Structure 1
Amino acid sequence: MLLKTSSQRWFGLTMSIIALLLLVCASIVYGYTDTSWKVAYGAFTNFDGSNEHIIIQSVRLPRALIAVAVGASLAMAGVLMQTLTKNPLASPGIFGVNAGAGFAVVVAVTMVSVGSLQAYTWIAFLGAAIAAISVYVIGSVGREGLTPMKLTLAGAAIAAMFSSFTQGLLVLNEAALEQVLFWLAGSVQGRKLETLISVLPYLLVGWTASMLLSTKMNVLSMGEDVAKGLGLKTGAVKLGAGVIIILLSGGAVAVAGPIGFIGIVVPHVARAVVGIDHRWVLPFAGLFGGMLLIGADIAARYVIMPQEVPVGVMTAVIGTPFFIYIARKGFSGK
């Protein structure tokens, strides 16, 4: 744990906010179209209708804000998932959220011929919510009720089922494959600000509720029996955490597609910095998640310029070594 005292943590939080703002500014300035910090500043203070100013206002600013919101949401959802399941590799993928959202979009494209990105957003949100609720219900069946192992197995089963259905539909409809492939790879490119605004209320509720639940998550993390002994209504806390996860991960996937690894990697980084207190882990994870995704998005613009790599591919490249490390450490006990 790097930051041990409250004053150190507040200082770290302030520095993280500043770093995130600098990355937002860098995302607005750098890209295929050559612009400068002066040009970017002028786009907001003295808009002249030039191509550079239009790109900055209508393309890069929404892209930066969406990256921050999606990264923060996935990271905070990952913190809650890992605490809830006691699984160091828990993420929106293990809850079946990504698979459910992807399947819903593919069904809409292949069977209803939906082509609007705005429509994708709501369809994906619906699919993500259905998948997460299904996992929660299946994981709660039985005398023991909801347990980490049952929740993890239910998530893996639902994710595998929806992924198989998605692949089957795409094999039968090649046109649909071309239409949704970029979305399925996970990307913030081409997303409009209206897309973020449409799900922002759900994300705000999720961010706020996760902080309100942070103290109870601290108690729950001590173990089921200890939490019950301290008078915690564990069933209500788990249900509340599940709803928050649906709001955060469902909203993020709806906006940017299934972006992986942020929900796995960032919570561990946040705990390494501030410890296991969810009152600090959640805000730090949100900031680190936004920083990671926006940094990956900036890098994605330069890898094969003038083409762009989907940011989901970049997060996979960044996150895979860390995933292997956590898997070895988490399951070997070393």
Structure 2
Amino acid sequence: MTAQPTSPAIQAEGITKRFGAKQALGGVDLEVPPGTVLGVLGPNGAGKTTMVRILSTLLRPDAGHARVAGRDVVADPEGVRRRLGLSGQYAAVDEKLTGRENLCLVARLYGMRRAAARRRAAELLADFRLDEAADRPSGTYSGGMRRRLDLAGALVARPPVVVLDEPTTGLDPRGRSDTWHSVRELVGAGTTVLLTTQYLEEADQLADSILVIDRGTAIARGPAADLKARVGGERLALTVPDPEARSQTFGILGSLGAHEPELDRRTGRFTVTTDYGAHTLEYALGCLRLAGIAVQDVELAPPTLDDVFLALTGGPSRGTAGVPVAAAVSAGSVPGPGAGEGQPWHG
């Protein structure tokens, strides 16, 4: 018997929204399979939160269609709300109520009986490390605690779809790690998550697929690895401990291609982007050896989501890097281990 295709947990086609003369969304499509995480990235004002508000029935689109957990966001908003958990950019908690009372209130609004509401509140308070403060007014909580309480509220009814709009804003590293753990557990249990974030590492850690939005338009989509490959280039990083040698090092690395090196003056660490990977590394180290410049450590790393974000949303231009290196390699003139005998080398 042939397996039937599974409907997307979230699907949007041609979503358009304007606010006066400003176009917030210009025909955005997205699709999220059940039990996966879609990370939505984009600069401030790109349209991410507008999309979240439309999917959560807080805004009506001007055009296009969207379905969440099988329900149309315009034709059946109540059906969407019963199947959706939402945590917005700002913690939506009643500061006069205790943490426990906040969660019990949300549970009762979902129709839970009083005893079930208290059990669910206790579970979530423990999961988010708020049990010791459970009976204090949430107005006395720190910003990170209020954010965790808001996240817990989005999960009270164990919805099949959860929308998290920059969920770790304001959290310390421990709080962020706890949130990541909770998201992974949700997805492991079959929950679908749409995540907007400004933390690129967060999307890299959690998202099965990534959608990049800029000026209301989807400009790229796919797994993080595919987006990194699309941008191309690797980052060569090395540290020159001698401040007197850094100016010459900058010049040598700058001659490798179209990308200007970056220097952390405090640590003496240089970074430069190259499309020729190991060839650039070999050539750079040969040149530095000939110049008698001591290098403390060297790293060649693939592009990060930061590189993807900047390249796709109008960051610094990424020209063709490493052309002189390619020419040197083809001419057989890369300084090898035997070149410049008598010159000091520290690797």
TM class, shorter-chain normalised?
under 0.3
By relative contact order (CA 8 Å, sep 6+), the higher-ranking structure is: 1
Larger CA Rg, structure 1 vs 2: 2
TM-score (structure 2 length as normaliser):
0.21
TM-score (structure 1 length as normaliser):
0.22
Higher normalized helix content (fraction of residues)? 1
Higher normalized strand content (fraction of residues)? 2
